[in-house]
Structure 1
Amino acid sequence: MATVKILMLSHTPDGSVFKVGSHHYARELSKRSISVAHVSTPRSLIHRAFDRSLFRPRASAHSGTAIDIFGTIHATPLIMAPIQLQPGGPSIARVVSDIGFSDANFIVIDQPLMAGYLAAARPEGKVIYRPTDTYTTWPAKQRQDHLLGVSDAVVATSSAVLERLTLPLNTPSLVLENGVELQKFMPSREVVRSGFIYVGAVDYRFDWESVAAIAAANPSEGVTIVGPVTSRPNGLPGNIVMAGGVPYDQVPGLLHRARIGLIPLNTSDVNQGRSPMKYYEYLAAGLSVLATSTQALRERTSAQTFLYEGASEAVTLSRLALASDAPNVEGMREAAAQDWAAKTDFLLQFLQKI
């Protein structure tokens, strides 16, 4: 597939504090001598006017392009109004044309808000929708419905997400969970481990009640929260440390010093189908996992994974997790089968059959 071109329309730009599945697929596909372009959710000129620190002024239709060390082209379109209010299709199409990917063989979309590109450009390549969440509100739900009507195939990150979609008859589909960059997260040596850690966004989906209860019940153990915070209650226990966002390359070192990785998801419906990026990263780093019991996570049976329902059960299971072996050697073995390189092989095999 040396001459194949794959266009990825994704949630998150390269260089963000978050490393998402599309970044990993782009890297692995490029390493296989496939031409890959990763175009991220458009940024709004209105937002730029209110927060110039987020954007560099440019007169072009995009905020600059870059080619990473693997050969992937990265670009982020600029549009007048937030993409939630306008489809942005023509602006995305101009960027795709500028970087030479109007003739991509495959268009892999995991950002339903970018569905306007398909109507504006009418690409001839195969369209693969890769939903990573359950969308139930406007405008993501409406644009997802449009995507499902024009997609040649669907690759969902969990069966819970796939089950909630209404697919046209005979649409090929595949469940391919998020994986782990194994070599980066496997520890090269062991250090003294202690406490709990969470890495990710702290927003409306975050279960602060359970995290606060876990911290209060284990006052001698630190609870480190790594990631940008947009939702935080008052009166948190003193052993909760807010570390803020850190570069992706620094995350493995933080995980190697902890015992338990937290995935605290609240009851928001969007959480039920999520395939958390940190799940296999925690395991690969040797951690036990303490997580909210969701449909997607109940489908997994990894060693030293403790799933709770409610703050009270979270406290009970936190003590069992602390009593478990550290590092979690069996969990590390299981994570080895979830490397992004293997996920990419599955994806390519699927694409070849469409």
Structure 2
Amino acid sequence: MTDLVVVSLEAWDQVWRRNQHLVARLLEDDPELRVLFVEPPADPLHDLATRRRPAGAHGPAPAGFGGRLLRFRSLKPLPRRLDPRADERLALAVRRAVERVNLHRPLLWINDPRAADLARSTGWPTLYDLTDDWLTADRPVRERERLRRGEEWLLANARAVVACSAELVRRKAPLRGTIDLIPNAVDVVSYRRARPRPADLPAAAAVYMGTLHRDRLDVDLCVATARAVVGRGSVVLVGPNALHADDTERLEAAGVSLLGARPRDEVIGYLQHADVLLVPHVVTPFTDSLDPIKLYEYAAVGRPVVSTAVAGFRDTTDPRVLVASASEFPGTVASMLPAKSRFPEGTDAPAPDWDDRAAAMRAVIDRMRRP
């Protein structure tokens, strides 16, 4: 396998997402493979404006696998409206990082459609991995236009395109033709190995696991659910908090426990010991494009689930999943607290494993390498 440059929508951190699971398995399977994992650029002005601690840039730094995995984050000192050449500068920074670590004509794996300039300027064989329909997300007009231009170029010019959901394939196929469907999955063995109960998990807990973001999370529904379960248990949100400060304050005032991000191995304990697992997502064209990783993680631990009618959960035949309207959701969760069953009950159902998804991605990459 050739070397890879992976341009990600998230940092390589303690919270593992799709591309980390896939990249890790590719590295395990090929001892000659090297990967430069390109994180979103540091944006100190945006961090200050949103009351977050500013992140810094860093050069290629080892992140595991005997130095074969390197992380890189460039710097975006000014907003694009003040620096029209920002994307050009970011692409140049990645090219210099590649030269610094002696990757030779790597394959480019793009999650972020805004990285189309990098593919266009280098000519590196490109894989576009569609994980979200960003054109339907709530974004400023200027940002949406940049996303549209980048995605149209990638759909027309990438050597291969894969998507995590059948809905994404359906939406994007008219602009591309062939798109390989590679859904998400779960590390089945890890999620079915018993873990200790986390010390900060309340005695009776309705748990949501995932990044807290308005693109997905229905904050009003979380507040209503927290109020409905008073005296029965607590609503617990586990994951990175990307909400505005006002939303965070509303949740905390309603009694929601916001525990923040947890390392990938620790999150399993929160899921196994939950009384009920929650999917309080908004239902929008954006969320309808998703293949939620939590669909597979929740299934693997066998706990009961209450979800709004979002993609994946509304279509499952898993009898442990209850789909509720926004008006029914809080009462349904309250009626299930405390739980009448405990892990590992319900963990005998089949679940797709990341090993199988990595094999499918490897087949696409191998196909790209052929003349």
Q: TM-score, normalised by structure 2?
A: 0.80
Q: Secondary structure at the match of 1:287?
A: coil
Pick the aligned partner of 2:74 from 67, 74, 77.
77
* Alpha-carbon distance change, 168 to 217 in structure 1, aligned in 2, over 3 angstroms: closer
Between 149-158 and 304-313, report the one with greater CA deviation. 304-313
- Count of residues in correspondence between the two structures: 341
Q: 2:286 is paired with a residue of what secondary structure?
A: helix
Q: Percent identity?
A: 19
Residue of structure 2 equivalent to 1:98: 100
Please state whether the residue corresponding to 1:290 is helix, strand or coil.
Answer: strand
Query: What is the letter of the counterpart of residue 12 of structure 1?
Result: E
1:54 maps to 54
Instruction: Output one character per residue of 1:205-252: Cα deviation in whole Å (capped at 9) or x when no partner.
Output: 211232233333332122111231514263767552122233333211
86-95 or 145-154: bigger deviation: 86-95
Residue by residue over 1:226-285, the C-alpha shift from the partner in whole angstroms, topping out at 9 and shown as x without a partner, is 231514263767552122233333211222221222122113432111222222222223
Indicate conservation of the 8 Å contact 1:158/1:175, yes or no. Answer: yes
Aligned residues of 1:65 and 1:73 also touching (Cα < 8 A): yes
Q: Unpaired segments of 5 or more residues in structure 1?
A: none
Mapped to 2, the partners of 1:321 and 1:174 lie a distance apart of 41
SS at match of 1:31: helix
The one-letter amino acid of 1:117's match is: L
Give the 3 Å change call, closer, same or farther, for CA 121–181 of structure 1 in structure 2.
same
| 1:117 Cα offset (Å) | 0.6
Q: 1:68 aligns with which of 64, 68, 84?
A: 64
Q: CA deviation at 1:129?
A: 0.9
Q: Offset of 1:298 from its aligned partner?
A: 3.2
Code of the aligned partner of 1:68: G
Q: Distance in 1 between matches of 2:52 and 2:206?
A: 36
Aligned mates of 2:238, 2:285 — CA distance in 1: 23
1:21 Cα offset (Å): 0.8
| Distance verdict in 2 for CA 1:324–1:279, change over 3 Å | farther
Q: For residue 309 of structure 1, report the CA deviation from its aligned partner.
A: 3.0
**1:9 has 2:23 as partner:** no
What is the distance in 2 between the residues matched to 1:210 and 1:131?
A: 28
Aligned with 2:208: secondary structure? strand
Taking structure 1 as reference, are residues 158 and 322 closer, same or farther at Cα in structure 2, changes over 3 Å only?
farther
For residues 331 and 143 of structure 1, the distance between their equivalents in structure 2, rounded to whole angstroms, comes to 42
Amino acid corresponding to residue 223 of structure 2 in structure 1 = A
Distance in 2, Cα, partners of 1:198 & 1:345: 30
| Alignment partners' CA distance in 2, 1:295 and 1:188 | 29
Deviation at 1:304, TM superposition (A): 0.8
Q: Which residue of 2 aligns with 1:149?
A: 156
The counterpart of 1:226, out of the listed 238, 243, 265, is 238
Name 1:247's counterpart in structure 2.
263
Pick closer, same or farther for the CA change 1:221–1:29 going to 2, 3 Å. same
Going from structure 1 to structure 2, the CA distance change for 1:68 and 1:187 (only over 3 Å counts) comes to same
Structure with more relative contact order (C-alpha pairs < 8 Å, separation 6 or more): 2
Residue 134 of structure 1 corresponds to 133
Q: Which one-letter code corresponds to 1:10 in the other structure?
A: S
Aligned counterparts of 1:314 and 1:142: Cα–Cα separation in 2: 41
> Per the alignment, do residues 91 and 224 of structure 1 end up closer, same or farther by CA in structure 2, a change over 3 Å counting?
same
Deviation at 1:168, TM superposition (A): 4.3
1:164 counterpart SS class: helix
Alignment partner, residue 364 of structure 2 = 350
Native 8 Å contact 1:202 1:230 kept in 2: yes
Q: Which runs of no fewer than 5 residues in structure 2 stay unpaired?
A: 136-143
User: 1:100 corresponds to which letter in structure 2?
Assistant: N
Query: In 1, distance between residues paired with 2:169 and 2:151?
Result: 12
In 2, Cα distance between the equivalents of 1:215 and 1:45? 34
The equivalent residue for 2:185 is 179
Which deviations, in whole Å up to 9, do the C-alpha atoms of 1:74-107 show, x marking residues without a partner?
Answer: 2222244357963232222222332333511x32
Q: Report the residue type matching 2:192 in the other structure.
A: M
The equivalent of 1:309 in structure 2 is 325
Distance 2:94 2:299 in 1: 37
- Is 1:201 the counterpart of 2:211? The answer is yes
In terms of mean alpha carbon deviation, does 197-206 or 238-247 score higher? 238-247
Question: What is the TM-score when the length of structure 1 is the normalising length?
Answer: 0.83
Structure-2 change in CA distance of 1:321 and 1:7 (3 Å): farther
**What is the distance in 1 between the residues matched to 2:37 and 2:251?**
42
Are the aligned partners of 1:6 and 1:37 in contact in 2 as well (CA < 8 Å)?
yes
Q: Distance in 1 between matches of 2:60 and 2:42?
A: 12
Partner of 1:294: 310
* d(CA) in 2 for partners of 1:49, 1:208: 23
